[in-house]
A and B are shown apart, each in its own frame.
Chain A
Amino acid sequence: MKKIIATSLLMGAAFLGKSAEVTIPIEQYQLKNGLRVILSKDNTVPVVTVYMIYDVGARSEEKGRTGFAHLFEHMMFEGSANAPKGTHFAAVESNGGTLNGSTHPDFTDYFEVLPSNKLATALWLESDRMRSLAINEENLKNQKEAVKQERRLSFDNQPYATAIVDIWPTLMYGNWQSSHSLIGSFEDLNASSVADVAKFFKTYYAPDNAALVIVGDIQSADARKLIETYFGDIPSQPQPKHPDMTEPADFQGRTEVHKDPLAKVPGVIIGYPGPKRRSPDYYAIIMIDAILTAGDSARFRMDLVKGKQSVVQYEANLAWPFGNSLDYRDPEDYGIFVLYNPNFTATQIVDQVQEEFAKLQNQGIEAKDLERVKTQLRASIIKDMQSSLSRARALAQYAIVDGDPALINTELDRMLAVTSAQIQAAAKKYFVAQKRSVLEIAPAPGAQPGNSGAKEGK
């Protein structure tokens, strides 16, 4: 899956199975306050990842507060009762570690990767902000500016990006929770108050709405004691209500054209509503994705880039553009984004892509090709398991979405069991033109850049 745009979207799914010849050790338990804990020991390199996941994302935002989940994520780095502003970055980096946080449609994550002697430091920091985040006007004002600046840098000043983040969801979804801009408008960011931050924190940032995953060079008895010490007495909160994400039954996919003043090469986004997570069709579509896009022998490369010479670059995924098959939660799409040769029209490109699905619908896939794709999938998944951070990401998703982190050791087997007949059936059921949405991105030098971001100052 090639990357075209440099946004902070996380790529790369991670699953293992018997076929992987690798088993990830897992210990899981729950603190009295409801915090789910997953430990996975690996003493080969003295590095540890502390990964905190909260079960709330941008799709939980309320009308008038687009972009709030992301703004809140920034506030999590602004200090807490015992670790004032600046301490978090300083304590992690000056101890040889790295850190970050990211906001997704349905979850928000924070991590520290450190030399393993600094496990306690990371737990101290994560527990202190879960217990006592510093919520005040000055920090909020400062982070509103940082977020707006992030929007300008990563979206408003980049080709294709505003089309992807602001417009694409409106074509794919009928329910506002899914169709609103996840990075948000300047108007809504400006309107956010300290009271909003406090309420969001109390509602969603409680131990029983989170999971803590620790992967790497640990001794589990010691890690358990430290976790109890730092997190054990943080009070739980009533389970938050998750918004209704159901798509309206009458919602119809459609085609739109967006003029992009910063783009120089034409692009097109094509999307189809996806299957239920972990249903048989879900595994079949993971295989379809690999057939079309994985590796140099992928069909999009062989047929479109090389054969028809129409596509220049492509990327595609379940839960595109913000996620992947690992963090996919229905309702989400299977999305394809291509840049194409201007000698072709967007309609021709869409037809050529649809033709690729037609081939799968009519013929499925030959045994030797399916075998090769499965080998690729197996290798890429083992490859992803090398870093403690990607193992932690996978464990966290299985814990909070499926309630079973041990799925990390069995999901690959489910994918490798997919047959050509299942692929054919899933292609017929999901990848049909009537269910499709299309966003054409046409280079338009001279037009006004930015979308909702341009509202500021008026």
Chain B
Amino acid sequence: MFTRRMTAFLLAAAALGAQTVDRSKAPQTPPIPSYKLPPVYETRLPNGMGVALVEDSRFPLVTARLVFQAGSRFDPKDMPGLAEAVAALLTEGTKTRNSRQISEEVDGLGGSLGGGAGEDSLVVSGSALSENTAKLLELMADVSRNANFPLDEVNLHKQNRTQSLLADRSDPGFLASQKMAEVLYGSSPYAHIAPTPESIQKLDAKVLAGFRDAWLAPNNATLILIGKLPARAEVMKTITAQFGSWQQKQLPAPPKMDLPAPRRQIVLVDRPGSVQADIHVGRLAPTRASSEYFPLMVGSAILGGGANSRMFKDIREKEGFAYDAHSAYDTHRDAGDFEGVTEVRNEVLEPALKAVLAELDRMAQARVSADELTGIKNFLSGMYLLHLETQDGLASQLANMKALGLPNDYLETYTAHVRAVEPDQILSAAKKYIAPDQAAVVVVGDAAKIGEVLKKFGSVTVTKVE
């Protein structure tokens, strides 16, 4: 309260100087207002299911996520896309409701309900008008516990997923991500990001239920509920009624995580007819549990996070090679990867790839400047605030936290961790993970047009799109 008043006072003071404003300089502004995350109430049911409740009564809505440690990394080797198929089919029929009944009931709550699978987690996401919270929880429990994968729904899924996979494979961004995951993660479960036409054909109720029975268990799940909620005791009573009788299960051992040693290799994914080349330069990087996480994340943002980053300013604004030039540092629970990305017209592939490699090198050769570091710390702290505006924003952050197994105070301490990063820490992380000497280069484009140029950077493996 005190902070807020101070802010208002300073704003007023700045405004009173109105007539003599000096436009040549950015305005003096008051300090960033303090903001405390709404409290997260955490508990656990006797069967081991985690519960996280956040009261947010600004709008008469609730947003829910049921997060299982059951993502694509748990797909059997010969069944890529199984987790994704289970997630998609959970809402297509249970012992007591068919697909149409589920859809109509959910829509009647002013809500939504659907499953999705990432690398680490399978998430059942739901929302509803607040007055329908209990009914939403009933439906979430039903689809998570009692899905029965009806034959006609499974067949329809197979038919449509075959078509949408074809559509995915016409998208150069998808092709690049798929190849990069394969190259970086080798034989580990993070190497695949999608099903194959063959694995889609092998789906049936038995294999789907097998995955569900192995991994969808209360002791492998956390329920996150955010919004204008009923009183604590009442909401816990509803949660217990819907999920309390769900039996614990002995979980199978997670698949092994053998990661290949990073090495320089150049792979060209041939996409005949491409009018541009999608360039991705990537390598393995540490997880969020590592002490190198925050330095590398901050460093990556200086390099290619947003319109004030080095890659945007150099590759787009100065050189005009591309519309988009960015870097990304993605973390899974047991591994992560760093990437520099840009998409350029075929004629400038050579100078553009050189420019990307040079930007990555520069991060590993010299400390970032004090100005860059202050700017990016403000940027990341501000983005954190912006993501808290909506229930979905907070729910996604909490779900991600659970999926990655991060400590409960992760969100609360996030900004402090960002603020504490030093230039030397960034330099040492950049030397290990951003320096491109051992990075894989994946290019998606028309091999007939860009194959020769790419050879100037080393030996090139050309792969076809199936």
Binding site for B on A (CB under 8 A): 21-22, 43-47, 81-83, 85-87, 89-99, 113-121, 123-124, 128, 141-142, 145-146, 148-150, 152-154, 156-159, 217, 219, 221-222, 225-226, 228-230, 261-265, 294-297, 301-302, 305-306, 309, 312-313, 339, 341-342, 371-373, 375-376, 378-380, 382-383, 385-388, 445-450, 453-454
Contacts and interface: CB of A to CB of B under 8 A. Distances in A.
A159 B21 CA distance: 51
B32 A117 contact: yes
A43 to B, nearest CB: 7
Interface string B8-30: 10011011101101011111111
A388 B378 contact: no
A142 B196 CA distance: 42
A157 B275 contact: yes
A45 B12 contact: no
B170 interface: yes
Interface stretch (B57-65, B239-247, B360-368): B57-65
A225 B61 contact: no
Nearest to A369: B104
Nearest to A224: B15
B408 interface: no
Contacts of A385: 59
Contact of B307 (A89, A113, A118): A89
Interface size range of chain B in the complex: 35 or more
Interface in B56-114: 58-61, 91, 99-100, 102-104, 106-114
Contacts of A43: 4
B12 A222 contact: yes
B209 to A, nearest CB: 21
Given A93-B306, A152-B345, A128 B23 contact: yes
6 contacts: A96-B32, A96-B381, A117-B31, A120-B27, A225-B18, A382-B59
Interface of B: 4, 7-8, 11-12, 14-16, 18-19, 21, 23-35, 58-61, 91, 99-100, 102-104, 106-114, 127-129, 156, 159-160, 163-164, 166-167, 169-172, 272-276, 306-308, 312-313, 316-317, 320-324, 343-345, 374-376, 378-383, 385-386, 388-392
Contacts of B276: 149, 152-153, 156-157
Contacts of A113: 386
B166 A265 contact: yes
B390 A387 contact: yes
Contacts of A98: 306, 382-383, 386
Given A47-B386, A264-B170, A302-B100, A117 B30 contact: yes
Contacts of B308: 86, 89-90, 92-94
B60 A230 contact: no
Nearest to A46: B33
A296 B107 contact: yes
B27 A121 contact: yes
